[in-house]
Structure formats: C-alpha cells, structure tokens
Structure 1
Amino acid sequence: MIRCHFARLLGERKLKISDVSRATGINRGTLTRLYYETAERVELDVLDKLCAHLGVGVDELLEHVPDESP
C-alpha cells in the first residue's frame, strides 16, 4: 500500500488545497484525491511540482507500507 502524506504536510504548513492549486497549477481535484488518499495514479509532473512547492522529496510525500495480510 502507498501512503500519501500530503494532508499532513499541508497541516504542518497551514496551507489549503486551493493555495497549492493556485501556486502550482495542479488541478484542485487531483490535490483533493491526494489529500484524502483516494488517488489511483499520479502523474510524475504532479509529483515534481508538489515536491518543489512543499520543499520535500518524494520519500517524504509518499511512503510504501507493506500489507499486513499474508
């Protein structure tokens, strides 16, 4: 499972989805899906813009968490 820490990063920086959308040009719907971890795929350019805007690496934005089921 891939965990997205976008919501936590926004909270720490006291940013809103609309702020990030305006600053990066990323569609608000895409950011909302990342925020609620419902995105099924993410374009590399979106990850690049988010990481640059937030000043983080991909490893800080996304995390692989092994499934607990056998």
Structure 2
Amino acid sequence: MIRIKFKEVLAEKEFQEKRSITLGEVAEATGIHRVTLSKIANDHSYKPGLDLIDRLLGYFKCDLNDLLVYIPEE
C-alpha cells in the first residue's frame, strides 16, 4: 500500500513558514480542487493520479519520498 503523507508535509510547511495554510490556499496554488485535497488528506483508500502528485511535489518543493511511503501489506 502507498500512503500519502499530505498532512505531515503540510504541517512541516506551516512550521517552516510559521503560519497556518488552508486547503483552499493549497487548492488555489496547485489547481487541485479543495474537495480532492480533503480526500487525499483523509481518505486512505483515495488514489490520486500522478498529475496531482506532481503538482503537490511542486507546491511543497519536496521529493517523492517526502510525500509518499510504501507500506508492505501482510
């Protein structure tokens, strides 16, 4: 299973910028609908496409390993 660490990466960006960042702000900057961002953050079964992952990587200025983690299923 691949887990998206959206909340963790968002929290790190908030910490570094010393301010709160809303999903609306991320949506406006990335062009990803706010509802989709909410699904990415809260629905563990949601599987965004590579285009969305690419936009999030650009917004957060991070590597793929910072946003995604592989968890082997037992």
Q: TM-score with structure 1 length normalisation? A: 0.83
Q: Could you list the structure 1 runs, at least 4 aligned residues long, displaced by more than 3 angstroms after superposition.
A: none
2:70 matched residue in structure 1: 64
Task: Point out where structure 1 has 5 or more consecutive residues left out of the alignment.
Answer: none
What displacement does 1:37 show?
3.8
Deviation per CA, 1:19-49, whole angstroms, max 9, x where unpaired? 1001111011111111114353211111111
1:38 matched residue in structure 2: 44
- Paired residues of 1:18 and 1:28 also in contact (CA < 8 A): yes
Residues in 2 aligned to 1:29 and 1:23: alpha-carbon distance in whole angstroms: 14
Task: Point out where structure 2 has 5 or more consecutive residues left out of the alignment.
Answer: 15-20
Q: How many residues align?
A: 68
Matched-pair identity in %: 31
What displacement does 1:6 show?
0.6
Residues in 2 aligned to 1:59 and 1:37: alpha-carbon distance in whole angstroms: 20
2:2 matched residue in structure 1: 2
Q: 1:39 to 1:29 in 2, by over 3 A?
A: farther
- Paired residues of 1:2 and 1:62 also in contact (CA < 8 A): yes
Instruction: Tell me whether 1:12 sits opposite 2:18 in the alignment.
Output: no
2:34 matched residue in structure 1: 28
RMSD: 1.4
